[in-house]
Homo-oligomer: A and B are copies of this chain.
Amino acid sequence: MSHFEKTTLNKVIRGAKRATYDKKTVFEILDAGIICHLSYEINGTPFVIPTAYGRVEDTIYVHGSMKSRSLISSLEIPKVCICVTLLDGLVLARSAFHHSANYRSVMVFGGARHVESDEEKNQALYAITENVLQGRWDEVREPNQKELDATKVLAIKIESASAKIRTGAPVDETEDYELDVWAGELPFKSGFDTPISDEKLKNQLEVSPSVRLACSYLK
């Protein structure tokens, strides 16, 4: 299946022309992010927190402390929602009303499953680490049993998802094009800056390949 089924859960109502349910697009946006926002609930109140994540096919992994309230609460409801947002720029129109943003965002729904096996846990931590910084996993000491036991991992199978994308120039009211107002796009860029070596670094080690790679492009 190349698309997520459009249901009442994931159907984009406002700005429907910006919506897509294409799996490839959804996955590309997920893979381009570093931090997701995970929404769960406690006693009827919605909560949202930022967290690292990793994707393996149609599963998103998140992790935290064994006692993490957000993870425990996520397991207690049928579905959580995860959002990844990439801001690409401001869209500056001639009227306040037509201001907008260029962005790529994904909204995912799925039930959270507690990952019990060390093998899948390790795979999940690999996926999370690699999503944050490609190539890092192989450079560092892998989790030992004590660390695995202290880490709670949730697997959220993507049951439903949609993406929303806006690109391009502002769209103004016909008469407003006559106004003496600068209008256009203000691109928003993000990326990594010069690494700061740990003061306790041994033998003046050079930065590792994963860090060099990350500094060479904008994520």
Q: Enumerate chain A interface residues (CB-CB to B < 8 A).
A: 9, 13-14, 34-35, 37-41, 44-50, 52, 64-65, 67-69, 77-83, 85, 87, 89-90, 92-97, 99, 101, 103, 105, 107, 109, 125, 129, 132-133, 136-137, 139-144, 147, 151, 169-170, 172, 176-203, 205-208, 211, 214-215
Contact = CB atoms under 8 A, between A and B. Distances in A.
A171 to B, nearest CB: 10
A181 B45 contact: no
Contacts of A184: 195-198, 201, 207
A125 B142 contact: no
Nearest to A65: B14
Contact of A77 (B44, B188, B195, B196): B44
A24 B16 CA distance: 39
A200 B137 CA distance: 49
Contacts of A44: 77-78
Contacts of A198: 169-170, 183-185
Given A90-B132, A188-B192, 12 more contacts: A40-B46, A41-B41, A47-B81, A93-B140, A97-B147, A99-B136, A141-B181, A180-B202, A184-B196, A185-B196, A186-B215, A187-B195
A48 B37 contact: yes
B13 A69 contact: yes
A186 B143 contact: no
A40 B172 CA distance: 31
